[in-house]
């Protein structure tokens, strides 16, 4: 999806007077374009608040990869025992026992090559599964040759 950037910029600059808009104007435009496309014309102040209040994440590809890595790093011990077993080769019952005991850090420490673990989890479920608890979706909007990935959080 490609935004009509010049029209959006013109409208943005007109409407932003007096608003406390996020520092990243392209991020604002990307979310505005996504919301306009999916929900009709949103109120500009609402769009700004969605970003400032973190109702939506609007991230570049690199930022999304970093955020999903951090999320999986923090929650790896809570993954399904069957997934953990399939990746590590360790019996599923070990992970069930560790989870029941609340030993999530121990589970994380059993995962070899954590980068590959993250890649596999994202390949299977997608980044939206981890970054968008609201609906699990990832949306793309391109603004000035930068693709932003949008995740609804609340």
Domain boundaries along the sequence of the chain = 5-60+135-152, 63-130
The whole-chain average pLDDT of the chain stands at 85
Output the CA torsion 96→98→100→101 (10° steps).
170
Q: Are the CB atoms for 54 and 151 separated by under 8 Å?
A: no
CA–CA dist 143, 126 (Å, integer): 22
CA–CA dist 76, 117 (Å, integer): 9
pLDDT tier at 38, thresholds 50, 70, 90 = low
Strands, E assignment, the chain: 56-59, 139-143, 146-152
Bridge partner list, 146? 143
Share of the chain above pLDDT 70, in %: 73
Q: Are the CB atoms for 59 and 146 separated by under 8 Å?
A: no
Residue 58 has pLDDT above 70, yes or no: yes
Output the CA torsion 99→105→110→112 (10° steps).
130
- pLDDT at residue 138, as a whole number: 96
Residue 149 has pLDDT above 70, yes or no: yes
- Name the nearest CA neighbour of 8 among 151, 144, 140: 144
Q: Please write the tens of the pLDDT for every residue from 76-102.
A: 999 999 999 999 999 999 999 999 999
Residue 44 has pLDDT above 80, yes or no: no
Lowest mean pLDDT among 16-20, 29-33, 109-113, 132-136: 16-20
- pLDDT at residue 29, as a whole number: 79
Task: Kindly state the average pLDDT of the residues 127-139.
Answer: 95
């Amino acid at each position: 999806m490609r935004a009509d950037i010049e029209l959006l910029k013109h409208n943005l600059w007109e409407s932003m007077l007096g608003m406390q808009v996020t520092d990243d104007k392209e991020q604002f435009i990307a979310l505005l374009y996504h919301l306009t496309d999916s929900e009709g014309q949103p109120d500009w102040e609402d769009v700004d608040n969605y970003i400032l209040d973190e109702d939506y994440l609007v991230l570049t590809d690199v930022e999304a990869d970093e955020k999903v890595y951090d999320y999986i790093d923090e929650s790896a011990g809570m993954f399904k025992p069957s997934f953990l077993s399939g990746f590590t080769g360790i019996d599923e019952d070990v992970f069930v026992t560790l989870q029941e005991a609340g030993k999530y850090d121990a589970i994380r420490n059993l995962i070899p090559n954590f980068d590959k673990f993250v890649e596999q989890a994202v390949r299977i479920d997608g980044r939206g599964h981890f970054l968008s608890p609201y609906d699990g979706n990832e949306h793309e909007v391109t603004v000035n040759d930068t693709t932003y990935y949008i995740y609804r959080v609340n």
